[in-house]
Amino acid sequence: MAVRLARRMSELAPYLFADLDRKKQAALAKGVDVITFTIGDPDLPTPPEIVAAGQAALADPLNHRYPAYAGAKVFRQAAADFMLRRFGARFDPDREVLALIGTKEGIAHLPLALLDPGDAILCPEPGYPVYAIGARLLGAVPYQMPLLPQNGFLPDLEAVPAEVLGRAKGLWLNYPNNPTGAVADLDFLTRAVAFAQRHDLVLLSDNAYSEIAFDGYRSPSVFDVPGGREVAVEFHSLSKTYNMCGWRVGWAVGRSDLIKPFSDLKSNLDSGVFTAVQAAGVKALSLWPGPLEGICAEYRRRRDSLVEGLRAAGYQPPVPRATFYVWMPVPGGDDRAFATELLERVGVLVTPGSGFGASGRGFVRFSLTQPTARIAEAVARLKKLGAG
Ligand code: MLT
């Protein structure tokens, strides 16, 4: 008997990074020394103080029981304290903060609390694939807003058709931006808040990269903008900030009339974040900015080494002010062919931009998750290949 899968499975492509990982494993199996610049999964270790806090909490049998559904009070308080210290925005940890099993989980599940089949949600494209997947899985419609170089990779909100706005309930934004490395200023965020107010949209701000910034750049929050509190829920993660991707911990913060139903929904789906992981998260937040200076300095060295090397090899990468991604136009404009050629001829694996959406065609993304020696090696290989 063949398993008769749900129709939605035929719409679901393999997850971009699972697919790239398969390509990497196949090349490794052939003996290729692959240098991987794909998933944004920091190679740097979680700072030792955070690991120690997690270890201590792991040893306490009380933490082996089910966690609190919405997150331990101490974790929600630490997240609220961070929002106050970092952005000057005060939140009630009981009503306005919800722990997430990493922001991917929250981003994927939030549409279940907000959207009905047929509703629309505005998503940046190229963008983190999960914004659209979460909506699509429940029969809602992600409306893709192109992020184009001529607009500084900001969406043209006024270009969203009235018919779509009539059905839309949410607007995803993500600055500092994955995959383009672009940043948004307060003027853009002010316009986005006004747009959300005008069209009755919840502004969903994915701020996972807020702390990875260079050259004195300080990334804002949507809560820095007048009116932001009235329209927004923001998603934060410890994955990128403190090299904690594997720990799976983040939080959503903002409007209580979305946080509460979202929390109720999640209590039906999952049993929360492991309490020992939340204890490590509390430690991480208490250290802020602490280890970040060293972490960002390392990414800046890597960024400079990659960008200078690529330029010397004849490519034209921009210099990102935030995130650990370099979004580079490819010679000839065929990003998939370029990425395949790089892997097959020189063992360098990058993410084709079109994997993040049609407007990513013509770009590849390098993540700065390799030490400088490997970056130098990759650049040397690319030089041999020539920029075409
Ligand atoms: C990325 O590399 O774009 C993301 O961090 C990957 C992910 O979260 O799955």
Question: So where are the chain's domains?
Answer: 11-40+291-385, 48-287
| Ligand 1 near 353 CB (within 6 A) | no
Per-residue pLDDT tens over the stretch 4-40? 999 988 878 888 888 889 999 999 999 999 999 999 9
Q: Measure Cα distances from 15 to 20, 39, 272 in Å.
A: 9, 11, 24
Per-residue pLDDT tens over the stretch 190-236? 999 999 999 999 999 999 999 999 999 999 999 999 999 999 999 99
Packing angle of the helix pair 292-312, 372-385 (nearest 10 deg): 10
Distance (Å) from CA 173 to ligand 1 centroid: 16
Distance (Å) from CA 144 to ligand 1 centroid: 19
pLDDT score, position 11: 77
CATH number of 48-287: 3.40.640.10
Distance (Å) from CA 39 to ligand 1 centroid: 5
**pTM, full prediction:** 0.96
Query: Nearest Cα to 329, choosing from 379, 366, 363?
Result: 363
| Ligand 1 near 40 CB (within 6 A) | yes
Mean pLDDT of 314-339: 96
Query: Nearest Cα to 99, choosing from 235, 6, 243, 200?
Result: 235
Collapsing DSSP states into helix, strand and coil, what is residue 125?
strand
Mean pLDDT of 243-259: 98
Q: How many CB atoms lie within 10 A of CB 310?
A: 21
Mean pLDDT of 50-62: 98
Distance (Å) from CA 220 to ligand 1 centroid: 21
Please list, in sequence order, all residues whose beta carbon lies within 8 angstroms of the beta carbon of residue 358, skipping any fewer than 6 positions away: 125, 144, 146
**Phi, psi of 353, rounded to the nearest 5 degrees:** -60, -30
Residue with CA at minimum distance from ligand 1 atom 1: 40
Report domain 11-40+291-385's class: alpha beta
